[in-house]
Amino acid sequence: METDLLHVALRAGAIYLPDDLPTGTPAQITGPVLGVTSQLLKLGYAPTEQLLHALNGVPPTQLLQILDVVNEVMGTDLNWAPLVRGWDIPTGETFADHLVTLVANLWGEEAGFHGTRLPCGHLIPDGTFPLERYNGCPFCGRQFDTAGFVYQGQGSKLKPLQLWRDAELAAHLRLLLESTVPLNATQADSLKRLLRHLPWPQGIDIKMKETSMLVVDALVEAGHDEQAGTLLTSPTDVLRYLWYRHTGYAQLVKPRTLVNKARIAHSHHYLPLDDSQQAAQDKENALRLHYDRRWCRRVAAWLNALDIDPEKACEQMHPHRAMWVRFIRALRLVEYSHRPSHERLNALLTAFHSQQYPVWQGRVNAGKLKRDTAATLALLKQRPGAFARCLLSTMLWFGPEEVLPAFAQVAHGLPPRLLLTLGSLAAGYFDGEKRMVRPVAAAGRLVDPNPLLRLYSQQQRDDMAIAVNDIYRQSMRRRWEAQQPAASTVYIDPRLDAVPVPVGDRSTTVHDAGSALQGTRFAVEGDNVRIFLQWGKGLPAMHLDMDLSVAITYDDHEEQCAYFNLAPQGAKHSGDIREIPDQVGTAEYVELDLPVLTQRGARFAVFSCNAYSNGELSPGLTVGWMDSRHRMAVDEKTGVAYDPSTVTQLIRIGNDNAKGLVFGVLDVARRVIIWLEMPYGGQNVLALNTAGINAFLKKLAAKPTVGQMLRDKAEVQHLTVTDKRDSADEAYTYQWALDTAAVASVLLKE
C-alpha cells in the first residue's frame, strides 16, 4: 500500500484501502483490527462502522502501515520535551539570573563564582536557576534530555475516519485537477502525490494555470514532453513553468522580490550576526539560470509549437521582458530559432527583439491620462479579467456612472471566484481605511487607502460598494439559474455559517491531519488552550532558534508570553530552546488560562511563531493548539504536554516561509479560536502589528460564508432546505466544506 495515498486520504478524514484488498465481512471484528482501532481512538480518530468492516480484510502488516502513517502525521515518535520540566509551575527565573550567569561565565570560578558546570560548558552559579527543573541549559537553551513518549486519550472530541476506495481517490484527483480556485499548499502536495500513482483521468479540463504547472512538471518528470506542451498555450505559460521549476513558485514572482525576501529573513537584531547582505547575494546566485541542451531543445519545441500571432505573443511577454531576456539567453533560443522547422520560434524572437509590437496596458494607461473614458472602457472590455482587477480604482478615476454599466456587460465572462473576490473586497476598499494585502512571496502589509476616495462623500462610496456587490450577486444568480440541480432537498450543516468561502486567501502551510479554511472558528471546550511548536525533525544537533509566542491584547495595553516574559498573568511558557537535539527535534508550549484572561479583561490572544535564528521558519516545523474538556496533563519529570487526541489544529510549514507566522486568534470573551495564516517579518512577537491582524480579520469577516451561499443557491434553484441530513438528496457537511476544491465545484462552478 502506497503511503502517499494514505497521507492524501488522511488529510480528507479517511483511510484509503485499495480495491484489490480482500473484502472485509460484517462479522466479529478481528483482534488486529481491535488493536488498531484502540490505537486510533487514543490518537483522536474514530473509524466509522463501514471502515471497521473493511479493515477486517486487511493483512496485519498493512494495518501496521496505516497506524505508522497516522503516528507520523501526529508526530508521536518525536521529542516533545521542552526546556523546563513541569513547566505548568513557573521556575521563577529572572533577568538577574541570566545577568549573573553571564558575568560568572565571563570571569569564571577564579573570580569566586561557584556552581554547576553543564555539558555545554556553561557555569550556572549557585542560587540562580533551579537546575533540577531543566532538561538542558537555562542560559544557552541547549537541550540535553529528550523524551520518547506522548500523552494519549485525554481528548474530548474524536475525528471520524471514513473509508476511501479507488473510486474516491480518483474522484479526489479529478476534483483537484478541475478546481476553479487556486490550490492551497495542502492540495498542491496531495495532487503531486496522486499524479505519481494514479492514471491520468479522461476528459479533464484544467481551469487554473497554477494547477497546470503541477501537471506539466509531473509529465516532464515522466518523460512526456509533447503531452506537457499541450498544456502550455502561451509564452506566459512557458515562462510560468520555467520559473516554477526554478524557484518553486507557480506565480511569476520577480527576482528582486525573492532577493529582498532573503535579505529580510537573514537580518538580525545583533549586528555582528546580521548576514542579510550575504544572503541576498547568495539568493541572486541561486536565481542564475543554467540549462543543458536537453532543456534547450524542450523549451524551443514548446515555443515553436505555439499557434499564436508573434505580435500578440510579444505583448503577453512584455510585462516580464527582463525575465524573458535572461531565459532566451540561458536557453540558447536564438540559436535554436535558426534551425530547420523552427520558423514560428524565429518569427517570435524577431518580433520580440525588434520591440515593434503594441502593448495593451500602455494604451489603457494613456487613455486614463487623457481622460478618454470611451476608449479606455472599450479597451478594458476586451479583457474582462484585467477589467475586474482594476475595476475599483477605475470607478474612482472615471466615476461609477460610466464604469459599472461597461463592466456589467462583460461580467458574465468572468470566473465566479473573481466576482466573489470583488464583492467581498469592495466594502473594505471604499471605506477609506487601511487595508491588509498579502503579496506573493512576501509578508502581509497594511496599505493606505486610495487618495481618490477623498473626492467622494461617504454615501457615494457606500453606494459604489453596494453596486459592485449587486453585480456579483446578479451574476451568481444567473449562473445558478442556468444549472440543472440533481436534487430537490438539501441539508446544510449549521456550522457552515462560520466557514468563509475559500477564495482569495490560500494557505501556504500543509495540513496533514485535516484541513481548515482561513477564517474558520473553533469553539473552545475547556478552560485552557495549549499552543505547541515542534521543530528540528530529521536535523542534526545544531543552533536553530524557533520561538513560540502569544500576544495578549487588552483595551489599553498589550502583553506578550514569550521567551522574554515566561509567565504573564493568564499564560505560561515552557522555556526558550535555542539548540536542538539530534534528529528528533524539540518543542515549546504556551498554555492560556481563559478564566484568568477573562477576569483581567483580555480581548484577544494572537498565536505566533518566529525564526529568531537567521533565515526563515524551518521547513517541517509544526504548530497548532490543543483543547479538551478534560484536564490536559504536563509531565513533571520531562515537561511533555503533547497529546494528539486533544489537537484541534495542526499545520506543517512548507518551503514558502516567512520570518514569522500568525496562525490563530483567540477571542477570549466568545471562547472561539479563529484560524488564519498571516506571515510577517521580525525575529520575535514584538514585530507583530495588531492593526494588521484587525484588518485581516475584517477582510475575512467581509467574505460570504459557505452556509449563506448554499442557502442563496437553494433559493434560486427552488430547492427545499431540510434539517434532516439522512433524508436529504444532498448533504453539505462541515467535513465536506474543508475541501476547497469540493466547495468551489458546487458554489463557483464556471
Note the pLDDT of residue 387. 94
Residue 27 has pLDDT above 70, yes or no: no
What's the pLDDT tens digit per position in 568-579? 999 999 999 999
Q: What is the mean pLDDT of the chain?
A: 91
Predicted confidence (pLDDT) per residue in 232-268, tens digit: 999 999 999 999 999 998 899 999 999 998 998 898 8
DSSP for 654-721 reads: -SS--SEEEEEEEETTTTEEE---EEE-SSSGGG--HHHHHHHHHHHHTSPBHHHHHHHHHHHTTPEE
% of the chain exceeding 90 in pLDDT: 66
Residues present in the chain in total: 750
Query: What does the pLDDT read at residue 272?
Result: 83
Predicted local confidence at residue 499, as pLDDT: 84
H or E stretch at 141: none
Task: Output the pLDDT for position 118.
Answer: 94
pLDDT band (50, 70, 90) for residue 126: very high
Which residues contact residue 68 at a Cβ distance below 8 angstroms, ignoring those fewer than 6 apart?
none
Residue 483 scores a pLDDT above 90: no
Provide the grid cell at 306: 505555439
pLDDT given for residue 441 in this prediction? 67
Helix (H, G, I), strand (E, B) or coil at 574: coil
Q: Which helix (H) or strand (E) holds 118?
A: none
Taking only the tens place, the pLDDT of each residue in 424-452 is 888 889 988 888 787 776 777 788 899 99
Handedness of CA 412, 413, 417, 418 (dihedral sign): negative
Q: What is the pLDDT of residue 674?
A: 92
Q: What is the pLDDT of residues 309-334, one digit of tens each?
A: 999 999 999 999 999 999 999 999 99
Dist. CA 503–CA 648, nearest whole Å? 23
pLDDT-derived band of residue 205, with 50, 70 and 90 as boundaries?
confident
Tell me how far apart the alpha carbons of residues 24 and 52 are, in angstroms, rounded to a whole number: 8
- Dihedral angle sign, alpha carbons of residues 74, 78, 84, 85: positive
CA distance to 332, 335, 344, 565, per residue, from 339 (Å) = 12, 7, 11, 68
The pLDDT assigned to 23 comes to 66
Rounded to whole angstroms, the Cα distance separating 738 from 747 reads 14
Whole-number pLDDT of residue 26: 62
Give the pLDDT band (50/70/90) at residue 137: very high
The per-residue pLDDT for 366 is 94
pLDDT of residue 704: 86
Average pLDDT over residues 451-464: 93
Inform me whether the pLDDT recorded for 1 exceeds 70: no
pLDDT at 682 over 90: no
Each residue of 587-603: pLDDT tens digit? Answer: 999 999 999 999 999 99
Q: Which residue has the higher pLDDT, 551 or 518?
A: 551
**pLDDT by residue (tens digit) across 274-313?**
889 999 999 999 999 999 999 999 999 999 999 999 999 9
What pLDDT is recorded for position 25? 64
Q: Is the pLDDT of residue 697 over 80?
A: yes
Identify the pLDDT of residue 388. 92
Could you tell me how many helices (H) and strands (E) the chain has, helices first? 29, 25
In the sheet where 571-573 sits, what is the strand order?
A: 509-510, 647-653, 622-627, 528-537, 584-593, 571-573
Cα separation of 604 and 552, whole Å?
6
pLDDT band at 604 (very low <50, low <70, confident <90, very high): very high
Q: What is the mean pLDDT of residues 644-667?
A: 90
Q: Give start and end residues of each alpha helix (H) in 266-399.
A: 276-286, 293-304, 310-317, 321-330, 333-337, 343-354, 360-369, 373-382, 384-389, 391-398
pLDDT at 500: 85
Q: Please tell me the least confidently modeled range out of 23-27, 55-59, 152-156, 425-429.
A: 23-27
pLDDT above 90: residue 352? yes
